[in-house]
Amino acid sequence: MFVAGCGKFFEGTADQMYKALVEKLGALPDSTRVYCGHEYTVSNLKYAATVEPNNGAIVAKMSWAEVHLYFLSRAARNSVGTFQKMREKNEPTVPSTIAEEKTYNPPRPSRKKRPTTRFSE
């Protein structure tokens, strides 16, 4: 799992990925922090917005970056921006939590229905 996405899967099936997200990661306590190994937050949130354009959690996560950036970097105080600006400055956009991922991650751990064809192999 990445922040706001799960990435491509090169091994296994779509069903196995779904089970890993829903049954394994979705069963973790909501307070569990997600420290992913790659920074795909910007592109994942852009994609998430196309899948769920009316999802306020996606907008809120992007807005969070503005505040996060403000407090993380003194140099950014004159230019508060989005996740993209954070990444340009090598600022982290992690961690996230399982609770947060349940609100804005398209193949999120809280889905009870199987993903649509957008998430299939």
Is the pLDDT reported for residue 96 higher than 80? yes
Q: Which of 22-26, 55-59, 81-85, 107-111 has the lowest mean pLDDT?
A: 81-85
114 in any annotated domain: yes
> How do residues 108-119 score in pLDDT, each as one tens digit?
656 555 545 454
pLDDT given for residue 95 in this prediction: 85
Backbone dihedral angles phi then psi of residue 2, each to the nearest 5 degrees: -115, 170
Q: How many separate domains does the chain show?
A: 1
Question: Distance of CA 59 to CAs 14, 62, 64, 66, 116, Å?
Answer: 27, 5, 9, 11, 22
Mean pLDDT of 36-45: 79
39 in any annotated domain: yes
Which has more confidence, 29 or 116?
A: 29
pLDDT given for residue 76 in this prediction: 43
Tell me which residue range forms the domain holding 85. 14-119
8 in any annotated domain: no
Which has more confidence, 108 or 101?
A: 101
4 in any annotated domain: no
pLDDT given for residue 85 in this prediction: 65
91 in any annotated domain: yes
23 in any annotated domain: yes
CATH assignment of the domain containing 98: 3.60.15.10
Task: Say if CB 34 and CB 50 are below 8 A apart.
Answer: no
